[in-house]
Structure 1
Amino acid sequence: MTEYEAFKELLELDDQEQLTPKQRQIVQAAIEIFSEKGYASTSTSEIAKRAGVAEGTIFRHYKTKKELLMAIVSPVITKLAVPFIAQSFVKQVFRDGEHKDFEELLRAMIVNRFEFAKKNVPLLKIVLQEVAFHPELQDRYKHIFREEVLPHFERFVSHYKEQGLIKDYPSETVLRLVITTVIGFLVTRFIVMPDADWDDEAEIDRTIDYILNGLQTVQD
């Protein structure tokens, strides 16, 4: 699967919404070079050369290099939050009116994001490289986090706290602890040490165990 095909799948584009052939070439080239060199070190002439188009063609579709970056990265930030905002995932966790236990929720979330990261490594790398340098991306992340992720996560956390299954920490604290652990695992697995001899199933189990031992209350 090419970077563009992964991007297309991520956007869930139908036949009417698909980018033009020129746009596909531009997006494919931009994802590759942004991932390799970073946004600041990439010129539109380099993107045009790799895409096999004239540099002016880029500007017919995207007014600036920043607009091209935003067109690529903004959807990725949204999709990173999918487990918390997608109705299919919510229904999976709260199926038939019954709540999964906290370990099942963690496993469903981690496996879901593991598969997402596995298919979108270059896109994930671009997000991690660029979000610190672009206020527009930071604002997008903050909006998704505050308006979409946190309300759903608070629903999960409130239930588990009421059942005495996790410690009575603020929901924001629980989310921070879970996210930093999971993202740390995914970044190490796919970006920092992708060629290490990984036992992915065992690492997922260890990640879950680590979170549970830090958050679960001691049961009599």
Structure 2
Amino acid sequence: MSTAALPLIAIDGPSGVGKSTTAKRVATRLGWQYLDTGAMYRAAALAVRRAGIELSDRGALEHLLASLDLAQEQGRMFLAGEDVSEAIRSPEVTLLVTPVSADARVRELLVDQQRRIGASGRWVVDGRDIGTVVFTGACCKIFLTASPEARAQRRFLELQAKGQTPDFEAVLADLQRRDSADSTRAASPLRKADDATELDSSILNIDQVVEWIVQRHAAHV
């Protein structure tokens, strides 16, 4: 499927770098729509968990995927019509999302859905393989990164704001584990697209990151 003509901004990067928050705000600034591909993989992981199946059970997984009903509306994630926006952020789903998202058949299904969604309208899309696999012809590609320590601190504060009592070293270790898994998986590993522009946001605030991307996009049109 050709995506060369699509008016689409692809924002890729590792876990905890702030892709979703950034993409939402960029979309708002431009008056474009926002697609959260990470939420789609989390919803798939939630479906796997609820079904009680193992990823190694190919028959059961294929049956589940054949009936997987995902939708995003107004920033909310729905699974079979149920709003699971909070449920997909649970610690249990977070542990499962890495192996689920690394499964080639899961990725094939969700990439197809993402391409169909992005085929119309103007979109800001974030993930780990948007510029390298899903929308290779995006008009603007950003690879957003930050040091592991900066990302862990952001995640730490985010969890505290939700009333949790996280351990910083545990948060850092989890991010490093996910970095390793995402960059070494066989299906669509995390990497910077050859034509993407990298932005290290370690010492930048969200307003600075959003403004930089908006200006970068303006230079591409």
Structure 2 length-normalised TM: 0.31
Greater Rg by CA: 1
Q: Which one has the bigger strand percentage?
A: 2
Task: Determine which structure has greater relative contact order: mean sequence separation of CA pairs < 8 Å that are 6+ residues apart, divided by chain length.
Answer: 2
